[in-house]
Amino acid sequence: MNGRSIAGRAATVTAASIGALALLTAPASAAPLEDGLTHLTEIAGEDTAARAGVGALTSFTEIVGGDALREVAAQFTPFSYAAPTFGCGSNGPITTIIAAATYEGPGPRDEFSLTPGDMRFSASPRHSGVPLASGLSVAWVNVNTGHSGIVALDDQTEYHLPSLSKTVHTGAGTVIASMWGAIDYPGARCVMTPTVGTFVVPDLPVQQTEAPAAPPTPEPISPGSGESNSGGPNTSKAPAPETPAPAPAPAPAETTTPSPAPAAPSAPSAVTVDG
């Protein structure tokens, strides 16, 4: 008997047991809820595992009742019960998987917060090792709006390995969900039977990203003031330094006319001496 056969039989037994309890209560009378469940049945088609998961969800709504689901005020983070799991485990071939959902609540937000109206479904198997492949699925219905869907938990880590999680936009309101499927590990396959849960997604405003403020426009600077009116640094051009007037040319020095040299004395004239 392989893991797929075990999964089919376990899912059938789980759905049948929940369906037997459903006979004790009246069916829900909420049109949006019925529309959502009908949509899930159409999506599941002839897939045996998907039909078992949707069947478990339908039986759960019949047991609790649509009116009671709308009045749920508490926020249930984990699913209602741990899912019996076959084919793997630390202490034998039978173990459990804890399924949970995370959604944004009132309070401060940061860059890692979910968008209001989104839910992140996740699974935590009690099996050691790193998962190699995820075959988990989630069927969900928003009881207040009737929105529904079936999604695969196929998100991956930064190392391209299954994160066993998926983020979907369910919108605000009471959300019911079921999870089932298989997880492959080295040398083992965990076959998870359906589990169901109820969650209340608050109606919160979407946080808008503020655009950066535009830089202030500098105020005009009065010509010649030398400083701006806003007290900021003076960005006006300083006046060009005035070019000094050229110095007057020096007056020409007076030329002294040299006095004429004295005339040489004339030679004495010849003297006749009487002899």
Q: According to the model, what pLDDT value does residue 17 have?
A: 44
- The answer to whether the pTM exceeds 0.85 is no
Whether residue 228 has pLDDT greater than 50: no
Comparing 207 with 57, which gets the higher pLDDT? 57
Structure tokens at 19: 């369906």
Whether residue 150 has pLDDT greater than 60: yes
Q: According to the model, what pLDDT value does residue 66 have?
A: 79
> What are the tens digits of pLDDT across the range 78-112?
898 999 999 998 777 889 999 999 887 776 777 77
First to last CA, the chain: 187
Q: According to the model, what pLDDT value does residue 80 have?
A: 86
Split at pLDDT 50, 70, 90, the class of 264 is low
Q: According to the model, what pLDDT value does residue 33 have?
A: 87
